[in-house]
Structure 1
Amino acid sequence: MDYLIGVDMGTTSTKAVLFDKAGHVITSANKGYNLYRDEPDMAEEDLDEIFEAFSDAIREVVRYDKNANILAVSFSSAMHSLIAFDKDWTPLTRVITWADTRAVKYTEKLKANGIGDEIYAHTGTPIHPMAPLSKLLWLKNEHPDIYNNAAHYLGIKEYIFHRLFGVNRMDISIASGTGMFNSFNLDWDEQALEVTGVKQEQMPETVDPYAMETDMIEEYSVLLGLPKDTPFVYGAGDGPLSNLGVNAVQPGVAAVTIGTSGAIRVVTDAPKIDPKGRTFTYALDRDHWVVGGPVNNGGDVFRWVRNNLFDSEKSTASLLNMDSYDLITEIASQVPAGANGLIFHPYLGGERAPIWDANARGSFFGLTHGHTRAHMARSVLEGIIFNIYMVELALEEVVGDLKSIQATGGFARSALWRQMLADIFEQPVTVPEAFESGALAATVMAQKALGLVDSLDVIGDMVGEANTYQPNPENYEVYRELAPIFIRLSRQLQTEYKNIADFQRAHIK
């Protein structure tokens, strides 16, 4: 049998999925690793842990069929990560992930002096601590020993390719999310290089997402159980591939993804810049660009609820042979839409779109004696979606009205979340059967790279059956009242986010 492997490299785990050429999932393996938060605003990963998770996942799916012919391995990868290496390729940092916000001070300076707006207009990457642009300024100013010794800068996926093949390359999809790449001339941006003081030769060579490597180092060929000449296709960033993976590539069709974090995105045929700087524009490939907004706070906020408000339910769920998240969602479903006027702003990890404020902090608003943990759980779920709804309003200003929503990510397994999404957005929400959308999309790119298909449109035949959820009029009438309050509150609270964040940095060790 001929198979393809899609690798989905995320913030806390890497998954390898074995597909046949028709896009059917044969088997998969998911291996986790730590996200280190040793100090306020830090979010780092360990290189060895990531490589071990990647290699373990690949080995596990390869072992499924000893006679398998692996046509290619292709990648979907978390964006915005940064790793510094010296001239001998010794790492000088761990992986500094998108969730790391220690560069907030230098981001604020870029915004204040207007240079940030100029760079955003070239790159399409909003000015935020998530981006390597800001991280490089942070290294330059706060870790000059690392900055001055750094000869190379890569991200998480590029590190895997470097280790396996000894190359120094980055696809244009990942590059378009660095804040250092000009999305209009498809090269490293001169102004971004000048501002950070980084030389072009310190950045990797940029390549097409369909580029591939085929001469693996012998040691890793043996380790992974793959022939040396197995094609490894670069693929693209996880955000753009999520759209492709749910067949949300037509005009006006949005993909909403909520995993650890979340996003809403629409595909266009060219980069589109928001004059107000609220949305990103990243490449899927040269002919497909994804415009949208990412949110920091998705499933990780639900995890906080489980661990801090419903810890005792973990054992109950185990006794009932249920997933603890499913149990909490069931509890939340007993509460009416709107949680009796309890609103939650889900900014536990700062926020990217739509407010782009790393100092943002979470809050409950409207608490009364009548509210219970169940109300709090429902308001958290609603708050996550209200926040994405705010992004949708900004997105429509850039790309026009949306027609429908394709939903993916871990939250899409929950019927309550799907219905909430339809009700708050007042749009039909379709959930394709294919949950492994990022890995599936990566393998479709591999098939195009190998010449097995002519167009990415074949994804439409692979996503399988879909369930569509229609807005519930009773619920969306409630959300119509609450959404403006949520939005006004987010703006009013922004005046105090920096003050409370500064207090926390000074007093919480």
Structure 2
Amino acid sequence: MGHSGLLGSRGTQGTGSVIAIDIGSSSVRAIGYDARARVVPGLEIHRPYALRTDAMGAMEVDADALVDLVALCLDDVSARLDRAGVTPLAVACCTFWHSLIGVDPSGRACTPVYTWADTRSASVVPHLRRLFDEEAVHQRTGARFHSSYLPAKLLWLREACPDLFVRSLYWMSLGEYLYLRLFEERRVSISMASGTGLFDQHTCEWDVPLLRTLQISPDTLSPVAEFTRTMTGLRGQFAGRWQRLSTVPWFLALGDGACNNIGSGAYDESSMALMIGTSGAIRVVREAADFTVPRGLWTYHVDQRRIVQGGALSEGGNVFAWLVHTMRTTPPADFEARLAAVPPDSHGLTLLPFFAGERSPGWRPGARAVVHGLTLATDPVEFSRAALEAVALRFGLVFELLCHVAPTAQSIIGSGAGLTESPTWMQIMADVLGRPLAPSGVPEASSRGGALLVLEALGIVSDLSHLESPIGPAFQPRAEITRIYLRAQRRQQDLETRLSGFESTP
């Protein structure tokens, strides 16, 4: 097996680069960062991929294909390290939360990677809600019962794919599986375990009462450790393939949402991060002292001493991309300008934007998008504006709940290309929230956040606040438009109430 270690503030000092692996839901990246968390020129590798989807709600990818994609990125990084004469200090890793892989006794995946967006397990959520006191489970695990999380995925898999379920000796996330392939060792960070729905956020251990009722042995889950419990000594082909990375510490994989906050500069209660990538989320990082899990929101960990609380939407940049693709009467180059020309809430439409189901705050995976008010005069740009406003209104609901958690937050930082590349959506969001929204100038916030946490653990960065995180001029809310959107939000909530009970289950 690979060697293990524990690194803290006493760790390595000096110059060099932290290599950050970032596995998102549409691409894999490997980026080198210097001691000030700045990208090392030439050490930026990006390889896209596509999830497999179907009409039944599948959203999955082959686990070993993703490992191979990471390996290709590291091939390129390793070659460029040699050419540039850069010394690698450590490897950081962040991946999307809530993934599930079944692994057989030989240590190889026998299921695909089931992602957070896979909704096929929505059908078992009502059974979980009958089986447990959901509020008590929410307070312990920080998660509601939903198709995003592992309780529903495991129960569904046992019923829908019993052969795969029986073949799986272990259950793990994508980051754990990557490290199992590289080091032949199972271990999961507190951060990654905290996003499963099977983890007690207060004790930082697997939730044994929940596992017992689900008939899942804790032995099938990886041992939990702080992310600083590093692995060293790549195994097999990988040791010779990346010789300069074989002897450095590899820090355990972290949840990408936590890293996004850290990387964009929202590393404490003074700032919230509002991120729109494929999906969307708004979050705040807090010290993990006495805390409760807020209604409608989730609670996960950055590491043992810090939690991240917030809410997530299954809709974000995916909606923008769908609009551009579907409303083809508008050339993409003109789309932004035409959106901006539509006055706020002037389209006569009320839209529930549950294109991929609902997460925060209602947690209804079977919810689907509804539009009210369409007429023969409605044009594609008006519909598109209504959809973007509708997503922003849902963010407004989550933001209101999050303000009770972090009432002293002074700023909101917008991140993710889905948001920051659309000035119109940035302005809509600022108007809905009624607060200034400043775009992050960090192009890869999650990757940078992973590198920052490693630099902090190594003792190279003593205080995250000492490093500047680039932020652009804030979009300012307009009071009269905020009032318009408040009325639109009430109208949206009224439509949602009237249609309650009309849900689809994949």
Normalised TM-score (structure 2): 0.91
Q: Report the RMSD for the aligned CA atoms in angstroms.
A: 2.0
Describe the superposition over 1:60-82 as per-residue Cα deviations: whole angstroms up to 9, x where unpaired: 34433421111112012100000
Higher RCO (C-alpha under 8 Å, 6+ residues apart): 2
Q: Give the Å deviation of 1:416.
A: 1.4
CA–CA separation in structure 2 for the residues paired with 1:431 and 1:301: 20
One-letter amino acid matched to 2:434 = E
Query: Does the CA-based 8 Å contact 2:233-2:239 persist in structure 1?
Result: no
Matched with 2:7 is none
One-letter amino acid matched to 1:83 = I
Query: Does the CA-based 8 Å contact 1:293-1:391 persist in structure 2?
Result: yes
Matched with 2:86 is 68
> Structure 1 regions of 5+ residues with no counterpart?
317-323
Matched with 1:491 is 497
Query: Does the CA-based 8 Å contact 2:141-2:201 persist in structure 1?
Result: yes
Q: Give the Å deviation of 1:114.
A: 3.7
Query: Does the CA-based 8 Å contact 1:272-1:291 persist in structure 2?
Result: no
One of 179, 182, 203 as aligned partner of 2:200: 182
Matched with 1:393 is 400
Q: Give the Å deviation of 1:393.
A: 2.0
Matched with 1:357 is 364
One of 426, 429, 433 as aligned partner of 2:437: 429
One-letter amino acid matched to 2:72 = D
Pick closer, same or farther for the CA change 1:76–1:491 going to 2, 3 Å.
farther
Matched with 2:186 is 168
1:301 aligns with 2:307: no
CA–CA separation in structure 1 for the residues paired with 2:495 and 2:405: 24
Tell me the secondary structure at the aligned position of residue 500 of structure 2. helix
> Structure 2 regions of 5+ residues with no counterpart?
1-14
Q: Give the Å deviation of 1:349.
A: 0.9
Query: Does the CA-based 8 Å contact 2:176-2:188 persist in structure 1?
Result: yes
Identity of aligned residues (%): 27
Q: Give the Å deviation of 1:15.
A: 1.6
Tell me the secondary structure at the aligned position of residue 354 of structure 1. coil
Query: Does the CA-based 8 Å contact 1:179-1:192 persist in structure 2?
Result: no
Matched with 2:30 is 16
CA–CA separation in structure 2 for the residues paired with 1:346 and 1:272: 31
Matched with 2:12 is none
Aligned pairs (5 A) from 1:225-304: 226-270=244-288, 272-274=291-293, 276=295, 278-304=296-322
Query: Does the CA-based 8 Å contact 2:107-2:180 persist in structure 1?
Result: no
1:35 aligns with 2:51: yes
One of 307, 316, 338 as aligned partner of 1:331: 338
CA–CA separation in structure 2 for the residues paired with 1:301 and 1:188: 35
1:447 aligns with 2:455: yes
Aligned pairs (5 A) from 1:463-474: 463-474=469-480
One-letter amino acid matched to 2:111 = T
Moved over 4 A (4+): none
Pick closer, same or farther for the CA change 1:338–1:144 going to 2, 3 Å.
same
Pick closer, same or farther for the CA change 1:221–1:91 going to 2, 3 Å.
same
Describe the superposition over 1:209-262 as per-residue Cα deviations: whole angstroms up to 9, x where unpaired: 222211112412444464311221124211111111122133252111110011
Query: Does the CA-based 8 Å contact 1:233-1:449 persist in structure 2?
Result: no
Matched with 2:19 is 5
1:412 aligns with 2:420: yes
Tell me the secondary structure at the aligned position of residue 90 of structure 1. coil
Tell me the secondary structure at the aligned position of residue 103 of structure 1. helix
One of 156, 177, 181 as aligned partner of 2:174: 156
Matched with 2:487 is 481
CA–CA separation in structure 2 for the residues paired with 1:38 and 1:225: 41
One of 123, 139, 142 as aligned partner of 2:160: 142
Pick closer, same or farther for the CA change 1:487–1:272 going to 2, 3 Å.
farther
Query: Does the CA-based 8 Å contact 1:274-1:398 persist in structure 2?
Result: no
Q: Give the Å deviation of 1:390.
A: 1.4
Moved more, 200-209 or 8-17: 8-17
Q: Give the Å deviation of 1:150.
A: 1.8
Q: Give the Å deviation of 1:400.
A: 3.8
Q: Give the Å deviation of 1:341.
A: 2.6
